[in-house]
Amino acid sequence: AGGGERGAAWGLYLRIDRQRLQCLNERREGSGGLVFRAWEERGDRAQFVESDDDEELLFNVPFTGNVKLKGVIVMGEDDDTHPAEMRLFRNIPHMSFDDTAREPEQTFSLNRDPTGELEYPTKIARFSNVYHLSIHFPKNFGAETTKIFYIGLKGEWTEAHRHEVTICNYEASANPADHKLEQITPQTHFIS
């Protein structure tokens, strides 16, 4: 695929609910949201997220609709701060580090990718109806902190269907006054 076509495929960052996006254990407040951007801008090394206390990072990524996630790109530094493993969880809003003990939908062993070219394809059957994606990076290649410059998400977006509350009234027994029929007209017959 050409550069323009490939960039368009990585457009799910436009479908992220930025107000509710969370990154746990980020050193600089709000820096986690900066790594979700256009594929063409992945080379911007001024925007990155770095872990704070240890090498773990956890992203809670809510979408504005339903997503069929097809692939992920993770771009880091060409050194030991690059994440070595990525675990994906679906539809667990407000996930915390305690929740990462559960079994993920898919786990990836990552290679160092300083140019943002390596694509990790997801098991589409497991990621076909995602409204919230949690991305856990449990370890890196040996550094004290983890640094990520870009996370690309490829897939298809559909608008969420809102199921509103419907109020229905059911009749326990029919009221004949509500169900008048024109064909039936009462007739009286007199026998003399």
Query: What HEC string does 146-183 produce?
Result: CEEEEEEEEEEEEECCCCCCCCCCCCCCCCHHHCCCCC
C-alpha separations of 109 from 20, 98, 103, 136, 141 in Å: 28, 21, 15, 12, 11
Please check whether the domain covering 2-159 is classified as CATH 2.60.120.470.
Answer: yes
Query: How confident is the model at residue 94, as a pLDDT?
Result: 93
Query: Two tokens at 189?
Result: 């017959």
What is the spatial distance between Cα 145 and Cα 163, in angstroms, rounded to a whole number?
Answer: 43
pLDDT at 1: 45
The residue ranges of the chain whose pLDDT is under 50 are 1-2
Q: What is the pLDDT of residue 160?
A: 77
Q: pTM value? A: 0.81
pLDDT on residue 170: 59
- Domain positions in the chain are 2-159
